[in-house]
Amino acid sequence: MRKEIIEKIEIPAGIEVEIAVDELKFKKDGKTIERKFSGCSIRKEENFLVLECKKATKNEKKLLKTAKAHIINAIKGLENKHVYKLQICAVHFPMNITYDKTKHELVIKNYLGEVKPRIAKILPDTEVKVDKDIITVEGHDKEKTGQTAANIEKSVKASNRDRRVFQDGIYIIEKP
């Protein structure tokens, strides 16, 4: 059964929202987050964003709820940063980890005694700090910070080894 669905999201003071055809831009204190949406109409009424689908099917309702969640995450990210923490576990060989800001790469050397270094891609607009055995990933965009943390974790995946014995790696220990 198709019916009309309307969702309202309050915009906090200090956050500017620009609506293009299928794109939203959130701005606060020089920080911007851009999102593309489709499947529902978005309009601004005073200090609310109104998401609306007329005669919505089940899939359109899912798209609307997903868009609402992304908008809420963008607003929360502009108010305070999303922080992921990763733990470095080196049992067999000591790993050497350096962050190259110019190339946006995290270089992992001597992982399980390998000669060739492993490289994790760092997405733009995210900050990475390496402090002894803790890596901190911060950013205003939840998707980019989460993807960066996943890139780091995935870059040191041990293949063709028993995970019960070879527990070396970098693991996410704290999420926002």
- CATH number, domain of 129, equals 3.90.930.12
108 to each of 44, 70, 95, how far by Cα in Å?
46, 32, 7
pLDDT at 122: 96
pLDDT at 151: 96
Q: How buried is residue 79: exposed, middle or buried, by Cβ count under 10 Å (0-12/13-18/19+)?
A: exposed
Please give the tally of structural domains in the chain. 2
Q: Final residue of a domain: which of 79, 111, 141?
A: 79
At 4-58, the pLDDT tens digits run: 888 899 999 899 999 988 889 999 998 999 988 877 888 899 899 999 888 888 8
Confidence of residue 166 (pLDDT cuts 50, 70, 90): confident
Radius of gyration of the chain (CA): 21
Q: Final residue of a domain: which of 56, 79, 102?
A: 79
State whether residue 174 is helix, strand or coil: strand
Residue 167 has pLDDT above 80, yes or no: yes
pTM of the model: 0.87
Helices in the chain by DSSP H: which ranges?
A: 58-79, 142-155
Q: Which of 92-96, 139-143, 168-172 has the lowest mean pLDDT?
A: 92-96
